[in-house]
Structures are given as C-alpha cells and as structure tokens.
A and B are shown apart, each in its own frame.
Chain A
C-alpha cells in the first residue's frame, strides 16, 4: 500500500520501496522549507573536542535541519557534548565503525520520515554553509539522488592532504569513473546529501568498514544517480582520522576487493513503482 510521496513510509524493512508517484524533490522547493523534513547526521567516534562546535554551527547555519549525532561507542564525552549543543543523540553500545554509524543515521531518517539527509563529519572538515549549495544542486535536477561535495573540483584551492593519500583517492576516482560511466573526482568525500530514494537504499545496504567509495557503487547498482559539486574542506581540528597510515594499505586492498568482486554481483532490479533513472551499463 502506498500513499502520496509526502506520507509514504516503510512499514518494515522488506516492504521498503520507492515513492509511487513523483519524487520528494519535485514537490518541495528549497524556499518552502516548512514542508520538508531535513536531517543532518554527524557520525562521531571520540570527537568530544569538536562535536559540540560542529553541532552548534550546523544549527546556526541550517535552522531547518534536525541534527542527529551518532555516537559510535565513544569512550569520551562525545554524547554529552552533543546533547549539550542541542543535537539528537543515538549512542551505539560499542564501536561499529563509520559505516555502521552512518547507516544508523539512514535508518533513523527512514523511520522518522525525513526527505533529505546530509552527512557532516564531526571533526570540522565540512562547512555547514555549503549545505544549501548541495541542496540547490539536488533540486535543480530531480533525477539526482545523492549530491557529493568534492575537494578536487575547485581549482582555486589545493587540498592539503599528503601525496600518498591523494594518490589513493585518485586511483579510486579513476576506477569508479570508469565503472559508473561518469566523472567522479572525490569518491572518499563523506560530505553528501541524500534524498528519500538514496536513504531507503542505504538504510538497507550500506558498506561496512570504509563505506564512501563502495557507496558510490551501491548507488550505481540500484540505478540511482549522483552528482558532485565543488566545496572547500578543512584539515581536521582534533581527534584522529579513522584512516591512519598503517591502515591505509588494508584500506586500499579491501576496497579494491570490494570494487572488483562487486563487478560480478548480480544487479538488483529496479524496485516496482520506482523509475530507473540510469541504465546499468558498466565496463572497465
């Protein structure tokens, strides 16, 4: 049973399907925010030093967004700081990794009927003032289901990452662009805006350990579309990156394995009732 897109909702995870007629983005424009439900998800693991500031800046810049901090089993005061800053807080009983934390955000959004979800890192890398740009990019093109903030699209600013890391990102960017058939400049960026379709897909199927690269493939396999827009990112202000130098080799191998095995996976068929925006052509 399906209602209109605004009342559409999943009963159980298995019954999930896309809205039957139209898309959330068609009906609701950016300036009529009162109808739209928007959620900012901040996955945080031991980020007590910065999470409060990030939550406050999201709430100041984007007053129409609810802020959900997913505390991924932190051992410091992350949850307390987030609550004090006025965020909704979900606390995992133990550390599930960034993939599990972000997926909790998708499940929360699905359960509570949100139209848009934006993912913002807790370390201050992402600027909430770019979110309206992401929003505009999504609503300009109703076929787009995920808008991704890319560090490498703007020429005026050099992202100060070590060369080894940039090389890794560019290898993934090259492979993914070939597979997806569209230029993807920054596949590891976690600064992303999703609509209802993408939320429904990722609530069911989101990669585990280092999710961003594989998420692009999942999206492609479900025939959803993505787009990138240039954003500025900043160096993290505190805490530790989940990708330490010792782990980066493991990261490369694991994601490569996922990419190449993923090529041989059966493509999921488009859900009944949903349009298939992209033919699943792929090749390398």
Chain B
C-alpha cells in the first residue's frame, strides 16, 4: 500500500475519532449514539495503521488491492450506521406520535374542565358591567 494513502487513512480516522469524542464531551452526542461511531473509528484506525492486518483482511474478503478493502470496510460501517439511525429515527417518530396523541387528549380534558367552570365565571362577568353602569 502506498505510504500517502496510508497516512491519509490514519489521519482521517484519527480526526473522526477526535470529533466523536469531542462531541460527547460537549454533550452534543449521547454516549448511546457515539458507541457505533467510536467502534468504526477505532477499527478503521487500526486497519490503516497496521498494514499486515489490512492485507489479511483484504485476502479474507477477496480484494486484490488492500486500500480498496479499507474502503469496503468503511462502507460497511456507513451502512451499519445508517441502519442504526433509521431504527433510532423510527423510534423517535413513534414516540412523537404518542406524545402528540397524549397532548391532544390532555388539551381536550383541559377544555372540558374549563367548560365546566366557565358558566359560573360568565355569570359573574355579566354582572360586573351592569353594576358599573348603575353607578
């Protein structure tokens, strides 16, 4: 493997790792969602650092050119992450649906309670201007 592409791969996966850790540190990324990112970052870093390991992996997958194997593995991780986020988005969509339904039911209950209390208040309101006019 050419030294330049190896260096590029090491730097890129190193930066990915640092960005993920920094996002967790700043609480912009929950640990729950950071774990898969960290796993892919670590695997890519290890494979790009140790040439022999990558060549073995390429042979197992059946790829002639080891850097292509790195791209293949990175692509596999990207697919895995996308699937992970699709699952997460589905859960969030379902939860926001449940929240909207709960909110709608709650609003109706509040309106019903207000409707029960209002007639009494309206009667009071009607009294007041009349009393003022009389004065």
Contact = CB atoms under 8 A, between A and B. Distances in A.
Contacts of B95: 93-94
Interface string A258-269: 100100110000
B34 interface: yes
Interface stretch (B23-31, B56-64, B112-120): B23-31
B31 A258 contact: yes
A257 B30 contact: no
A130 interface: no
Contacts of B21: 261
Contacts of B35: 250, 253-254, 257
Nearest to B98: A93
Interface in B57-96: 94-95
B128 interface: no
A264 B30 contact: no
A94 B102 CA distance: 11
Interface string A196-219: 000000000000110000000000
A250 B25 CA distance: 19
Given A257-B24, A257-B38, A264-B25, A209 B32 contact: yes
B34 A257 contact: yes
B99 interface: yes
Contacts of B98: 93-94
22 contacts: A93-B98, A93-B102, A94-B94, A208-B30, A208-B31, A208-B32, A209-B31, A209-B32, A250-B35, A253-B35, A254-B31, A254-B32, A257-B24, A257-B31, A257-B34, A257-B35, A257-B38, A261-B21, A261-B24, A261-B25, A264-B25, A265-B25
